[in-house]
Chain A
Amino acid sequence: MVDNRLIDELRQIVGNENILTSKISLETYSFDASPYSGRPSVVVFPTTTEMVANIVNIANKNDIPLMPRGAGSCLSGGAIAPDGSIVISLTKMNNILEIDPLSKIVLVEPGITNKQVQLAVEQYGLMYAPDPASQNISTIGGNIAENAGGIRGVKYGSTKDHILGLEVVLPTGDVITTGNIHSQVEPELDLTYYFCGSEGTLGIVTKAWLALSPINPEVKTMTAIFGSLEDAGSCVAEIIAKGVVPTTMEIMDNTVIKAVDDYLKLGFPRDAEALLLLEIDGFPSDVKTQVNSIINAFASNHALSYKIAGNEQERLDLWKARRSVNGALGKLKPANIVHDIVVPRDRLALMLEKVAQMAKKYGIIIGQVAHAGDGNLHPTLYYDHRIPEEVEIVEEACDEIIKETIAQGGTISGEHGIGIEKLKYMPLAFSKPTLNLMKNIKDAFDPKNICNPGKLLPQITED
């Protein structure tokens, strides 16, 4: 339990201006972007690695649960504070410590937002490839914890493919540095990888060396309209099969098209069943060939129409549309659950169709966006959390979606993480020996189970 003595100790570490203890201020740290909530005992805002280590030491000594927090934009409940926990907000550790454009490396603190990193390196013709839809606010620390993917993920991969090394405060209070910042080749057990996607359960990242990628000279953004989700899904599979790797392939269904158009008024066709948003980058000659190949795929998959963004503003508008999906859908119902299932690319069309059928079967609204290029679907289920029957129906529908995903050879989380939301699905997705191994790894890093307990790993029952 966090008592006054502990509060005083924490206050001494971070200073009076970097600690919150009042009931009201703690209330504002009880949530993230998921439907869950928790009750922290105190929130601290360390500004140095040493402070983080000292805080962790106190927690470790007194068996107090810890919750590292960035922007608090987690969709699966990963940033929900365990009851009685110390929330370590990394938002004041938000500096860029070094940019090395020659080696294409940037060293950052965990609380900086993804977008601020992009802005800082842009002037060197570079980008940080992972670009989650929340990039304007989500922090690098949070991106690492969730192994965030993003809209460019189909071509560039996810966070783990762009982290060269980390400084981490372990749950025991020890500080380690992982990785080899001048090469992505790891000669030994690759510790960096463990932290990518660990959802704050293995330690607290206090510095990160990020690998940057060159911005390609030419970009083309296209949209195509389809009469069915199935056509859009097949089109995506065909484009990839032909050897074109767009940086983006996003499918939006009718529910999403309408919600986004209400918000941005971009004149999307409101009766379209599916919209495919595509972006390709490369050298001009290369881009031209890709565009032709894509246009052919549009035709052979019955696209009703297509459009190539004529200027930068049109391109930015399309992107804004995609990035606003999560929020714009908020208007439909007071609560929603968004999943991030992944299926093999050739099952994408089928899965989109199956989810659409489930919406009809359960009589609920399900909006669908998909990072179609890597088979990552985002069905979002809308409900009113104040009506118990609606909550029940939505839960039932979620279970069915997950089971169908696994039946199609897919997996339960592409990028949002397991958090609290998908704990119960872990035994469906992973075998017992696999879960046991994960548990042993967790124990090795965090013997007292104080670092973000209750997330990611389900309680394993003996049978």
Chain B
Amino acid sequence: MKKDELLKILMNCNRCGMCQEVCPTYRVSHIEANVARGRNRLIRLALENQLNLDKEPEVEKIINECLLCKACEDSCPSGVPTPEIIASIRAHYTNTKGLPLGKKIMYRGVFSNNKTISLVRNLAWIYQKCGINKLVKFTGLFNKTDEMLPNLPPKNVRSQLPVLLKVLPNADHRVAYFLGCSVNNFFSSIGVASIKVLQENNCDVIVPEVNCCGAPHHSAGDMEEFKRLAKNNLRMLNDLDVEAIIFDCSTCGSVIKDYENLFTGDEEYEKIAAQVAEKVQDISSYLISIDFNKNMGTISKKVTYHDPCHGIRFLKVKDAPREILKSIPGLELIEMQEADMCCGGAGSYGIFNPKLSRDILARKMENFKNTQADILATSCPACTMQLSFGMKIHNLNCSVKHPVELLVQAYEIKSL
């Protein structure tokens, strides 16, 4: 966004303070620098040349402490798009200073390339299995970031596709399943479940060779790389003869749905992005739209649902995952307080802002505990990683599951 445009939308903030109620960083810290109106105030001063963005490390820190969860924007009576403003300023930092080395290695080096990401995953799996991790933990080398990594599955989803994908010549539906990096590499059970559930509902599934959606690059302000990835994905997805492109990752889904805004002014890609966006479907909503198979076995457990920011505020998915959970015999859905408040995961937020991230997580876990549920369900691998980490550090013996994982379990119980 250009400076004039930014200044104009910043003027819409009349400092009423309504963002205080919903901003997770404000709710745990109670300081004005950690809420939309405070952040906007500083940005406005910078744009009015009263502050120098590039010479105030504290401002940069404050800008980086925003989760981009969008809760403020949704409750802002003047509709100030704070996440967009913050993203613009981060892009400015990345433009003028380049990405910090850690983010550069992680985003451009790893997430940008499917092969490297699986290689890193495999190394990390070996690391976890051979016991070096215990030694490293002992030395305190990685401090606590190490614990944030989930227990990795032995194989990623893509390598299992030849076995997983069935030929369904008489299928009712033909869909593409977008296999995101996190699900593929870190939470393969979600990806496997998504494919199985779709096939169980008579969908012929294809899994295109997509790249990372670019969410990490976007949030770090690396717009150049973000655009490159987006173009690759758009070309790949636009040619598919499918009725829907299915996402089990709310982040990937909302980022791809929003590619259109990335290419404003670039007619060719704007058009393609709009066509692709039409087909983007969150898996729970899609299953409901095709009246999914309700012939299931019983799971006698209590479950509660955490709304990923990208699910509830970007894709506007609220009821569908809950409907899926309620449809499973024996499974009791209990609503938790602040279900739609960010868990503090926010991609790699927890690595770079550990204190705030953990305070927000503690609040989420407290709300979870109060429901006395056995399972915490959610539709986002980044949330899954953060919430599982929460279970670990808060000593809770409960699991974090995607609704489709529970659904596939219910189908499998029935067929036994």
Which residues of chain A have a CB within 8 Å of any CB of chain B? 20, 22, 24-25, 27-29, 31-33, 45, 71-73, 89, 91-92, 94, 111, 113, 115, 134, 136-138, 263, 324-331, 334-336
Contact = CB atoms under 8 A, between A and B. Distances in A.
Contact of A24 (B20, B33, B76): B33
B17 interface: yes
Contacts of B14: 33, 326-327, 329-330, 335-336
Interface stretch (B54-62, B115-123, B148-156, B388-396): B54-62
B31 interface: yes
Interface in B43-88: 45, 51, 56, 58-59, 62, 76-79
Nearest to B14: A330
Contacts of A115: 21
Given A330-B78, A331-B12, A137 B17 contact: yes
Nearest to B38: A28
A330 B16 contact: yes
A24 B78 CA distance: 25
Interface in B5-61: 11-18, 20-21, 30-33, 38, 41-42, 45, 51, 56, 58-59
Given A45-B30, A115-B21, A326-B16, 12 more contacts: A24-B51, A28-B31, A29-B32, A31-B15, A32-B15, A73-B17, A94-B30, A328-B78, A330-B12, A334-B11, A335-B14, A336-B14
A71 B42 contact: no
Given A89-B30, A137-B20, A28 B41 contact: yes
Interface residues of B, number: 27
Contacts of A33: 14-17
A24 B31 CA distance: 12
Given A136-B18, A331-B79, A24 B59 contact: yes
Interface centre among A71, A138, A325, by most B CB within 10 Å?
Answer: A71
B76 A327 contact: yes
Contact of B18 (A24, A45, A327, A335): A327
Given A29-B32, A327-B78, A136 B16 contact: no
Nearest to B45: A27
14 contacts: A20-B31, A24-B59, A24-B62, A29-B32, A45-B31, A73-B16, A73-B17, A137-B18, A263-B79, A324-B77, A325-B77, A329-B14, A330-B16, A331-B78
Shortest Cβ-Cβ A-B pairs, 5 listed: A327-B77, A334-B11, A330-B78, A330-B14, A28-B32
A20 B34 CA distance: 13
Contacts of A325: 77
Nearest to A138: B17
A335 B78 CA distance: 12
A326 B31 contact: no
Contacts, number: 86
Nearest to A135: B21
B30 A28 contact: no
A113 B26 CA distance: 13
Contacts of A111: 30
Nearest to B8: A334
A244 to B, nearest CB: 31
A27 B78 CA distance: 22
B379 to A, nearest CB: 25
A72 B78 contact: no
A299 to B, nearest CB: 33
Contacts of B77: 263, 324-328, 330
B15 A25 contact: no
Contacts of B51: 24, 27
A135 to B, nearest CB: 10
A72 B19 CA distance: 12
Contacts of B62: 24
Contacts of B17: 33, 71-73, 134, 137-138
Nearest to B50: A27
A336 B56 CA distance: 30
Interface string B304-315: 000000000000
Contacts of A113: 21
Contact of A31 (B18, B30, B41, B59): B41
Interface in B222-280: none
Interface string B195-228: 0000000000000000000000000000000000
A25 B62 CA distance: 9
Nearest to A333: B11
A74 to B, nearest CB: 10
Interface string B77-110: 1110000000000000000000000000000000
